Amino acid sequence: MLDAIFKETADHMQKSIDAMKKEFSTLRTGKVTTTIVDDIKVNYYGNPTPLNQVGSVTVMDATTIAISPWEKNLLPEIEKAIQQANLGVNPNNDGDFIKLFFPPMTAEQREQIAKQAKAMAEKAKVAVRNVRKDANNKIKRLEKDKELSEDESKRAQDKIQKLTDEHIAKIDEALKTKETDIKKV
């Protein structure tokens, strides 16, 4: 019974970290990546469709992303979707494809993005702590129902705390790495 609680707890905590890392990928660092445009949806014949499903998205250099639609009539729709996404750049449409030129980030922008990363990490920590709380409640319920002794309950809660500490440390490490990427010029 306890092993199932430990496994489920570790899985949920890891999912919180994975979600944070996915969120991190949308943040801009010193060089652009295609993940910056991952959340953009294009009106494709009345359906909101991810940008990478209506054309190819490639990084041309450290500051430029090129989007080549599979259907040329989608250029205005893609352009509109990019403007609505508010990426901080204007799309340049040359009739065949769209280029996004990202200017080098200022120190102020880097600080702002680092703050966003910290907020994302804090959100992940809260999620991990909520998973800990749920696991501890399950253990206390088992103790209350006399399925666990007081000592077993205490040991199980200590193990849950160790899992929590490990996952919080992983979040801090991922945040430190991301901040280094963001602040690197």
Q: What is the structure's pLDDT at 167?
A: 97
Q: What stretches of the chain adopt beta strand conformation (E)?
A: 41-44, 47-50, 55-61, 64-69, 91-93, 98-101
- pLDDT at residue 185 in the model: 67
Other Cβ atoms less than 10 A from the Cβ of 161: the count is 13
Residue range 47-93, pLDDT digits in tens: 999 988 999 999 988 889 999 999 888 899 999 998 888 877 889 98
Q: How confident is the model at residue 5 (pLDDT cuts 50, 70, 90)?
A: very high
Between CA 151 and CA 17 the distance in angstroms is 31
pLDDT at 27 over 90: no
CB neighbours of 94 closer than 8 A, spacing ≥ 6? none
Check: CB of residue 62 under 8 Å from CB of residue 32: yes
What pLDDT does 38 receive?
Answer: 83
Better pLDDT: 155 or 26: 155
pTM of the model: 0.76
pLDDT tens digit string along 166-181? 999 999 999 999 998 8
Q: H or E element: which one contains 152? A: helix 150-183
- How far apart (Å, rounded) are the C-alpha atoms in residues 95 and 75? 8
Residue range 95-120, pLDDT digits in tens: 888 999 888 888 888 899 899 999 99
pLDDT tens digit sequence for 120-157: 999 999 999 999 999 999 999 999 999 989 999 999 99
